[in-house]
Structure formats: C-alpha cells, structure tokens
Amino acid sequence: MTGTSAHTIGTSRFPAVILAGGRSSRMGANKALVPFGRQPLLDHIIDRLRLQVSAIVINAVPGWAEDRGFPVVPDSLPDQPGPLAGVLAGLRHARSAYPDVTHLLSVPADSPFFPADLAARLSQVLDDTDTIAIAASDGREHPVFGLWPVSIADDLAAWLAQEENRRVRSFLARHRLREVLFPLIDTPHGPLDPFFNINTPDDLSRARLFLETLEE
C-alpha cells in the first residue's frame, strides 16, 4: 500500500528517486538548478515525474534541495561514487517509508525529456519482484532510468562497499535484467532521444532549443 504517506502524490504503484547527487563537473555549476523553461531543471523533472509515481524522494548532497517538500536522502557512501550510490539511498528510504512497495523508479536530474510512460512500460516487463528493468533507446541502455527491486538493496550495499565496484553494467550482470526500448521523439529540429542528458553548457543550449519546439 502506498497511499498513507504525507509524500504520496499519485496513483502509481512505485515511488521514485531523482538522482541529483553528482558533481556537475562538466557543467561547472549544479546542473539540477540551471534555469530550464520557466523553472529550475529539477522542478521540470519533478513535474514530469509526479504524474507517473506514487512518491518522490530526492537524492542529493545535503543543503540545497530541501525546500521542495520532498524527502532528501544523501549518499551513505563518501566521495560521490556514482549514480548507484543514489539508487541505494533511494532503495533504503523506500524500504522503510513504503514497506509494501516492490520497486523504486530512478531518474536522473539532468534528462528533461524522459517518457511520460516510463514507469508504466518498465513495470510491464517485471516478471518477478527481483527483476531490474532499465530503459534503452537508439541502441543504448540507460540504466539510470530503472525500476529497481527493493530486495536488492543489501546486495547493492555490499557490492558498492568494494571500491573497485563502480560500473553500473557490472552490477546489473549480477541480477535478472529486462530492457525496454523507447522510441525517439519527432521534433522540428530532428529526432530527439527521450533520454538526452545535459552534461555541458552546450548540451543545455540544445535542450533549451528542443524544449521550445516541444512547447510550441
């Protein structure tokens, strides 16, 4: 049951974690806070996500994302070891806050065009409560967009505790995995990958152009 939390926001079965715990080193400033359309990028992501999940938690370094009304969970591991640390923080939060939930959706804070049916389509391929489902497009996997079983939290913690374990693909190989292919979006500027992610100031300019055409 997901309907009892103060942070419950939708009718979906799954809560979500927004991964915003990275360094934004290529952007040179916290990329979740760059202006995007009428609001900071993070708020654009929240608006897109809230329609398809039961609750939202933000994974971030403490001190900047607390004012949005959602729980903020920092990494439990030091030195920003990568997105899986954020998935782990989200899974631990989900396990205690939503004990009946089987999976947690993850989305990064830097990909503003992800599909409106992301959670729905990923959930269609879950064949048991231990399966991980990740998104793919245009011949590439996007494991930061995934439905993660709450049951793998302890294995993920033990795996991340070894410093040589950082590659997402190596972790995925330990588990039952399904992939869902999403189509490109047609725009007047040409096809747009729904998982386009903003790493550099140039990426941000391109994303703003796409946003304008999609809003017209």
The candidate with the shortest Cα–Cα distance to 190, out of 138, 139, 141, is 138
Q: How far is the CB of 97 from ligand GTP (least distance, A)?
A: 18
- Asked whether position 9 contacts ligand GTP by CB under 6 A, the answer is no
Pick out residues in 5-24 that bind Mg ion (CB under 5 A). 22
Give the x-and-dash track for 50-89 against ligand GTP (CB under 6 A): ---------x---------------x----xxxx-xx---
Q: How far is the CB of 204 from ligand GTP (least distance, A)?
A: 12
Nearest residue (CB) to Mg ion, 25 versus 96: 25
User: Which tokens is 23 given?
Assistant: 């360094």
Q: Contact with ligand GTP (CB under 6 A): which of 10, 15, 22, 194?
A: 22
HEC profile of 150-183: HHHHHHHHHHHCCCCCCCHHHHHCCCCEEEEECC
Q: Contact with ligand GTP (CB under 6 A): which of 16, 20, 55, 150?
A: 20
Tell me the C-alpha distance between 7 and 69, whole Å: 8
Q: For residue 72, what are the contacts with CB-CB under 8 A and spacing of at least 6?
A: 57, 58, 59, 60, 62, 65, 66
Residue 59 annotated as lining a ligand binding site: yes
81 contact, one of ligand GTP, Mg ion, none, CB 5-8 Å limit per kind: ligand GTP
> If binding means CB under 5 A, how many residues of this protein chain bind Mg ion?
1
**In this structure, are strands 140-149 and 103-108 parallel, antiparallel, or unpaired?**
antiparallel
Nearest residue (CB) to ligand GTP, 17 versus 180: 17
User: Which tokens is 163 given?
Assistant: 């410093």
Instruction: Tell me how far CA of residue 64 lies from CA of 34, 51, 122, 193, 202, in angstroms.
Output: 13, 24, 30, 29, 24
Q: Which one-letter amino acid corresponds to residue 132? A: I
Nearest residue (CB) to ligand GTP, 20 versus 94: 20
Q: Contact with ligand GTP (CB under 6 A): which of 13, 71, 110, 160?
A: 110
75-80 long-range Cβ contacts below 8 angstroms, 24+ apart: 75/21, 76/157, 77/160, 77/161, 80/21, 80/22, 80/23
Pick out residues in 92-151 that bind Mg ion (CB under 5 A). none
- Asked whether position 144 contacts ligand GTP by CB under 6 A, the answer is yes
Report the binding-site residues for GTP: 19-21, 31, 59, 75, 110
Which residues here bind ligand GTP, judged by CB under 6 A?
19-26, 59, 75, 80-83, 85-86, 108-110, 144, 197, 199
